[in-house]
């Protein structure tokens, strides 16, 4: 489906509403009050669709100052974020380029979310590791300030080593599953010899004990998966540092298509693809390849300021004008 309209018409709004309605949160902000129309008390997103052939009805209700509420086929969910484990949606927005061109933290965050989507049972692991790390760092500072002891630190060292080892393994597994799919899709989009490589150091309680003096000096744990990175390569170059804007965009898209395939394989239904402003910076040949690829993936929404930007006929064209809900043209 192609969503067209001038700048400021509300295309990104529509896409964001679909994300909130299917995932329970916005890809743009954690501040739910910003999702409510200026001057209004609340907002409601109601969606109907089907999942693997069964009808699906989703409702998300937001109220300023209250927790959002969500229901699926009439049954209330405990938290709106639970929608994530029920319905899959993947989003591309121009800020996603940070996954390739930004610092390691942006890539860790991205692959940790991919880990949660690909292996929902391990979705909490990155946060659990982060919490243990914060406790260990607080204990390190406590020792330097004289109100904690090395003995009190030991359980945290063990917990960081244990959760860190699990996190490295889980990330390694999801990156290895994405890697061949990424290489294929990147190749189709014109990025030759594309590859992903998880750059991780092995972590253990011994490794942490060995560097304890340095960690005490810094007041922070200086090794572990909170410092890892993922190398993204194509054409013999590291795209993180040397990719052109267009190449970085293609790499982000190839990652998204790879994940779409992984989600379909693991969960049995294709994710909804929400692609905001994806066509700008792509040459006409690549736009055509992308449009053809997307057709084979279930449902995809692309926004653009002009219908001519998509060199293929969309199945549906929606025109968004400021001030109304949009018109389905065909």
Ligand X SMILES: Nc1ncnc2c1ncn2[C@@H]1O[C@H](COP(=O)(O)OP(=O)(O)OP(=O)(O)O)[C@@H](O)[C@H]1O
Tokens, residue 242: 């040397």
In the complex with Mg ion, the residue whose CB is nearer, 12 or 221, is 12
In terms of residues, how long is the chain? 330
Q: How far is the CB of 27 from ligand X (least distance, A)?
A: 12
- Do residues 152 and 139 lie in contact, with contact meaning Cβ atoms separated by under 8 Å? yes
Nearer Cβ to Mg ion, position 93 or 221?
93
Q: Which does 78 bind (CB under 5 to 8 A by kind): ligand X, Mg ion, none?
A: none
Out of 1, 2, 4, 9, which residue is the one contacting ligand X (CB under 6 A)?
9
Using an 8 Å Cβ cutoff, are 64 and 41 in contact?
A: yes
**Residue 7 interacts with which of ligand X, Mg ion, none, CB < 5 to 8 Å by class:** ligand X
- Pairwise CA distance, residues 76 & 83, whole Å: 11
Report the nearest approach of ligand X to the CB of residue 153 (Å).
Answer: 46
Say whether residue 85 binds ligand X (CB under 6 A).
no
Beta-strand relationship, 75-76 and 69-72:
antiparallel
The answer to whether 224 and 133 have CB atoms below 8 angstroms apart is: yes
Binding to ligand X in span 15-74, by CB under 6 A: 34, 36-38
Distance CA(27)–CA(134), nearest Å, equals 25
From Mg ion, ligand X, none, interface partner of 310 (C-beta below 5 to 8 A by class): none
- The region of 9-17, 47-55, 128-136, 204-212 touching ligand X under the rule CB under 6 A is 9-17
Interface positions, 297-316, toward ligand X (CB under 6 A): 305
Q: C-beta of 107: minimal distance to ligand X in Å?
A: 25
For the record, the structure tokens of 163 come out as 């959760």
Residue 202 is a binding residue for ligand X (CB under 6 A):
no
**Residue 23, binding choice from Mg ion, ligand X, none, Cβ under 5 to 8 Å by partner class:** none
- Burial call 187-201: b when 16+ CB within 10 Å, e when fewer: ebbbbeebebebebe
Name the residue whose CB lies closest to ligand X. Answer: 12
**What is the smallest separation between the CB atom of 16 and ligand X, expressed in angstroms?**
7
CA pair distance 196, 94, nearest whole angstrom: 21
Give yes or no for a contact between 45 and 101, defined as CB atoms under 8 angstroms apart: no
For ligand X, the binding residues (CB under 6 A) are 5, 7-13, 34, 36-38, 305
């Amino acid at each position: 489906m192609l969503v067209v309209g001038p700048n400021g018409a509300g295309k990104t709004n529509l896409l964001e509403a679909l994300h909130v309605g299917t995932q329970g949160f916005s890809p743009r902000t954690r501040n739910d009050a910003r999702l409510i129309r200026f001057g209004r008390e609340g907002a409601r997103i109601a969606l109907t669709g089907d999942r693997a052939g069964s009808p699906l009805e989703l409702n998300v209700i937001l109220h300023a100052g209250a927790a959002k509420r969500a229901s699926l086929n009439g049954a209330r969910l405990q938290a709106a974020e639970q929608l994530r484990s029920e319905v899959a949606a993947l989003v591309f927005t121009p800020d996603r380029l940070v996954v390739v061109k930004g610092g390691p933290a942006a890539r860790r965050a991205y692959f940790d979310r991919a880990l949660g989507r690909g292996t929902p049972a391990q979705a909490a692991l990155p946060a659990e590791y982060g919490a243990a790390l914060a406790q260990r760092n607080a204990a390190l500072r406590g020792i330097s300030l004289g109100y904690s002891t090395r003995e009190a630190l030991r359980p945290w060292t063990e917990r960081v080593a244990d959760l860190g080892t699990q996190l490295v393994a889980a990330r390694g597994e999801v990156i290895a599953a994405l890697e061949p799919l990424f290489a294929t899709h990147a190749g189709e989009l014109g990025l030759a010899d594309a590859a992903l490589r998880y750059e991780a150091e092995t972590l253990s309680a011994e490794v942490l004990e060995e560097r304890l003096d340095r960690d005490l000096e810094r007041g922070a744990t200086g090794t572990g998966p909170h410092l890892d990175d993922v190398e993204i390569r194509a054409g013999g170059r590291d795209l993180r540092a040397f990719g052109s804007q267009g190449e970085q965009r293609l790499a982000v898209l190839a990652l998204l298509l790879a994940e779409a395939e992984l989600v379909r394989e693991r969960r049995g239904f294709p994710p909804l693809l929400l692609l905001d402003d994806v066509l700008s910076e792509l040459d006409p040949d690549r736009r055509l390849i992308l449009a053809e690829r997307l057709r084979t993936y279930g449902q995809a929404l692309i926004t653009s300021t002009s219908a001519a930007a998509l060199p293929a006929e969309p199945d549906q064209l929606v025109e968004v004008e400021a001030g109304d809900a949009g018109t389905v043209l065909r």
